[in-house]
Amino acid sequence: MFAIIGIVVVFGAIVGGYLMEHGNLMVLLQPAELLIIGGAALGTMFIANPLPVIIRIFKGCIGVFVPSPFSKPFYLQHLKMLNELFHYARKNGAVKLEADIEEPHKSPLFKNYPGFLKNHHALHFVCDTLRMYISGGVGSFELDQMMELDMEVHHQSANVPVSSLTTIADSLPGLGIVAAVLGVVITMGALGGPPEEIGHKVAAALVGTFLGILLCYGFFGPLASNMAKLNDADAQFYHCLRVAVNAFIRGSAPILAIEFARRTIPADLRPTFQEMEQFCKRGAATPAPGAAPEPAGAPEPAAADKG
């Protein structure tokens, strides 16, 4: 939403200032210059990137114009999911969790969180780590290193479309100069003609430079910057998952593990402890048969002894 507002402000301010100086908008409408710059930019993108990266560039651009998925309700949902997951493992033993992490789409633990199931990388990030934990023989430090490596690879992969779009944005002023030079060549061929015709061709050539600079610094550059910020928000979410899982593996009680995770959430999105606790208690999972009822979010006696 704010990206759309920003684009309207940029173009509105430029056109408004131009009209205040009694400029003629029709002079700025140069389809040939736009074709040269836009077509060349599209061609350089095809030359420099394989098809999967090009697809991710377009998806990333679309993602800028939709609301960010990372919000306080988003984090509350995932903290609640982790809380239920950790409580289940504590009450029934980690081995009982194996069936859920092997086939998470069939798991009653995950079925209430379709958003998490759709996020394939986050799902595998959590399930694969817990699988290594259940298999035994892997310490918490080694598991934390695995998660760090996974996050690093994921973040590097997510930044490839951003780098490509930034390169395209940086090339636009140069492509604008190319369009302007071609306009000058055409103008030189028209020397000796009517002054109005020469003036029109010179104006068209200058519009090429104008469009290249405007599209670079007023559109594609900020678009790439916004995509980079979305990637940073995604990395913060994975860091939250990593801290929660690692705290639980080290032996922390479920409520303490998700409290560790809550502290990693950015300040403008972070719920209070009371909000998190109340949300986790709402619609808490039913205890397994034979297990004593326990309020969601309450510390385990063993964990309390450790404290």
DSSP reduced 3-state for 219: helix
pLDDT given at position 189: 80
SS (H, E, C) 98-144: HHHHHCHHHCCCCCCCHHHHHCHHHHHHHHHHHHHHHHCCCCHHHHH
Q: What is the pLDDT of residue 140?
A: 85
How far apart (Å, rounded) are the C-alpha atoms in residues 211 and 39?
Answer: 13
Structural domain boundaries, residue 88:
30-177+211-286
pLDDT per residue as tens digits for the range 102-116: 889 988 889 889 999
| Confidence at 237, pLDDT banded by 50, 70, 90 | very high
Q: Is residue 23 part of a domain?
A: no
pLDDT reported for residue 283:
59
CB neighbourhood size of 189 (10 A):
10
pLDDT given at position 90: 87
pLDDT tens string 7-51: 999 999 999 998 998 888 888 888 888 999 999 999 999 999 999
The whole-model pTM stands at: 0.81
Q: Does the pLDDT value for residue 287 go beyond 70? A: no
Q: 247-278 burial, b if ≥16 CB within 10 A, otherwise e?
A: bbbeebbbbbbbbbbbebbeeebbbeeeebbe
pLDDT at 293: 38
> Which of 46, 235, 61, 49 lies closest to 158, judged by CA?
235
In a domain, 296, yes or no: no
Count of positions (residues) in the chain: 307
Q: How crowded is residue 221: how many other Cβ atoms within 10 Å of its Cβ? A: 17
Tens digit of each residue's pLDDT (9 = 90 or more) over 200-220: 888 888 898 999 999 999 999
Is residue 112 classed exposed, middle or buried when 0-12, 13-18 and 19+ CB atoms within 10 A define those classes?
Answer: middle
Answer whether 126's CB lies under 8 Å from 140's CB.
no
On whether residue 221 sits in a domain, the answer given is yes
Q: Is residue 185 part of a domain?
A: no
- What's the pLDDT score for residue 300? 40
For residues 284-290, average pLDDT = 40
Q: pLDDT (tens digit, 9 = 90+) per residue, 55-79?
A: 999 999 999 998 889 999 999 999 9
Mean pLDDT across the chain: 86
Q: Is the pLDDT of residue 183 over 90?
A: no
Please say whether the beta carbons of 215 and 37 come within 8 A.
Answer: yes
Q: Do 228 and 163 contact (CB within 8 A), yes or no?
A: no
Q: At what angle do helices 254-264 and 221-249 cross, to 10 degrees?
A: 160
**How many Å apart are CA 233 and CA 93, to the nearest integer?**
33
For residue 107, tell me if it sits in a domain. Answer: yes
Q: Which position has the higher pLDDT, 298 or 190?
A: 190
- Helix locations, the chain, DSSP H: 2-20, 25-28, 31-48, 51-64, 72-92, 98-102, 114-118, 120-135, 140-189, 195-215, 221-249, 254-264, 273-281, 301-306
Q: Is the pLDDT of residue 129 over 70?
A: yes
Number of domains the chain contains: 1
Token output for 30? 């140069």
Neighbouring C-beta atoms of residue 154, cutoff 10 Å: 17
Number of other residues whose CB lies within 10 A of the CB of residue 171: 20
Distance CA(278)–CA(30), nearest Å, equals 60
**pLDDT of the residue at 306:** 38
pLDDT for the residue numbered 282: 77
pLDDT at 304 over 50: no
- 143 near 105, Cβ under 8 Å? no
Residue 303 falls inside a structural domain: no
CB 15, CB 25: distance < 8 Å: yes
Q: Does 199 map to a domain?
A: no
Structure tokens given for 23: 């400029």
Q: For 80-97, what is each residue's pLDDT tens digit?
A: 999 999 999 888 887 788
The answer to whether residue 44 sits within a structural domain is yes
